[in-house]
Amino acid sequence: MTDDTTQEVHGNTMVTELAQILEAHRGERHVAVVQDFPDPDAISSAYAHQAISAQFEIGVDIVYAGRISHLQNITMVRLLQIDLIRFDEALDLGQYDAAIYVDNQGTTAGSVVKALEAAKVPALIVVDHHERQERLDPQFSDIRRTGAAATIYAGYLEHGLLPMDASQSEHVLVATALTHGIITDTAGFIRAGPEDFHAAAYLSRFRDADLLEQIMSQVRSKQTMENIRRALANRVTVESFSVAGLGYLRASDRDAIPQAADFLLTEENVHTAIVYGIVTRQDEEEVLIGSMRTTKITVNPDQFIKEVFGQDAAGHFFGGGKLDAGGFEIPVGFLSGGRGAEYRDLKWQVYDAQIRQKIFAKIGAELPATPE
């Protein structure tokens, strides 16, 4: 049996099982959880799940705990009329019968996961394309090595979970969103596999090219460009690894971290880039957030991040990833908050030195005294 045939059989099995799960929960109300700072893949996949669930009379709210700050993401949400709810403690979780995790397995949505567990809202479904994280115990799990979670959802549509009709505006918006999700998570199809190209070809029958162009034509903000400049200035390059700390960032600038990592990866003789910074959330909680990108096949971001940063007291890893990218989030804890700029600078020096030390120890290289 060929790989394509195996994928097709697996896809058909997953569609059948998911349909059975949704039918068994017909008429319920679910919450679809995306990562704290959702990207187009997460947003589009959750949007597709919402549309599919409506076929089973299941109401779905899409919830995230961080911010939507990337200009493309903001434009996507507005143009495609996608409703997302920003999580806070006032949200009544008792209204939900089950939780759905899309493009994540709970490790990048920690506060929402803990709140749902405290409210005894069970994890029903996980659909993701990252490596297994073993954080949740859902009734249904579809975790595959595809370029995007949107690819998986496109397969669900193609196999009839939502009979697509180009004359229906909602179907056009879903197809457009999923196409954008696939494009962005595969770096414009550079890292796409056969299943991603197949999904995009299927969606092309329904997506709105003009809307897609408007979304993708958004430029980087001045603040993002400044943070990329800081990454270039602060980077340390050893053994083809480029590592940069950005210092403190506003929550609205969080998306500059993965964008800076993508940019550093374009430098000559660099195969892996890691960028991190401390993000201050709305509630003044501080979290050290990082992104990893690699073009080297022997570097496994999921394994690398787990081995470098380890687990919290509950045994949950601080991060993970997929074939060519990963991320991590480490709470600053009781040191969150500030006593002025001097105290904050001291904290950053400690965290920056510790992160770099751990990364270069993993690489097996001596830590340079100062950035280039």
The least confident of 45-49, 90-94, 120-124, 328-332 is 328-332
| Residues counted in the chain | 372
Q: Is residue 182 over pLDDT 80? A: yes
**What is the pLDDT confidence band of residue 371, given thresholds at 50, 70 and 90?**
very low
Q: What is the mean pLDDT of residues 165-189?
A: 94
Q: What is the pLDDT of residues 347-361, one digit of tens each?
A: 899 889 999 999 999
Q: Regarding beta strands 319-321 and 325-331, do their DSSP bridges make them parallel or antiparallel, or are they unpaired? A: antiparallel
Token pair recorded at residue 176: 């457009």
User: Across the strands, what pairs with 115?
Assistant: none
Q: Check residues 331 and 103 and name the one with the higher pLDDT.
A: 103
pLDDT at 184 over 70: yes
Do residues 38 and 70 lie in contact, with contact meaning Cβ atoms separated by under 8 Å?
Answer: no
What token pair was written down for 289?
């957030």
DSSP bridge partners of 9: none
For the record, the structure tokens of 347 come out as 């904290």
| Total Cβ atoms within 10 A of residue 205 | 10
Q: In the structure, what pLDDT confidence band is assigned to residue 1 with cuts at 50, 70 and 90?
A: very low
Contact 147, 193 (CB under 8 A): yes
Q: Start-end ranges of CATH 3.10.310.30 in the chain?
A: 222-363
CATH 3.90.1640.10 segments of the chain: 3-216
**Is the Cβ–Cβ distance between 38 and 68 less than 8 Å?**
yes
pLDDT in tens, 85-102: 999 888 999 999 999 999
| Average pLDDT value for the chain | 89
The side-by-side arrangement of strands in the sheet containing 123-128 is 85-86, 59-64, 29-33, 98-102, 123-128, 140-143
Q: How far apart are CA 368 and CA 234, in angstroms?
A: 12
| Residues contacting residue 55 through CB under 8 Å, at least 6 positions apart | 22, 161, 162
341: left (phi over 0), alpha (psi -120 to 50) or beta: alpha
Query: What CATH number matches the domain at 3-216, 3.40.30.10, 3.90.1300.10, 3.90.1640.10, 3.90.1150.10?
Result: 3.90.1640.10
Q: Which pLDDT value is given to residue 7? A: 57
Task: Give the global pTM.
Answer: 0.73
Query: Position 228: which residue type?
Result: I
Q: pLDDT tens for residues 204-239?
A: 999 999 999 999 886 677 888 888 999 999 999 998
What pLDDT shows up at residue 372?
46
> Can you tell me the mean pLDDT for 109-136?
92
pLDDT surpassing 60 at residue 137: yes
**What's the pLDDT score for residue 253?**
84
Q: d(Cα 77, Cα 73) in Å, to the nearest integer?
A: 6
44 neighbors 127 (Cβ within 8 angstroms): no
18: how many CB neighbours lie within 10 A of its CB? 19
d(CA 54, CA 328): 33
370 three-class SS: coil
179, 80 contact by CB (below 8 A): no
What distance in Å separates the CA atoms of residue 231 and residue 243, rounded to the nearest whole number? 8
Please tell me whether residue 37 adopts helix, strand or coil conformation.
coil
Please tell me the predicted confidence (pLDDT) of residue 254.
84
CA angle, residues 142, 145, 151, in degrees to nearest 5: 70
Quote the CA–CA distance of 188 and 202 in Å, as a whole number: 17
The CATH class, in words, for 222-363 is: alpha beta
More confident residue, 195 or 369: 195
Q: Over range 260-269, report the average pLDDT.
A: 90
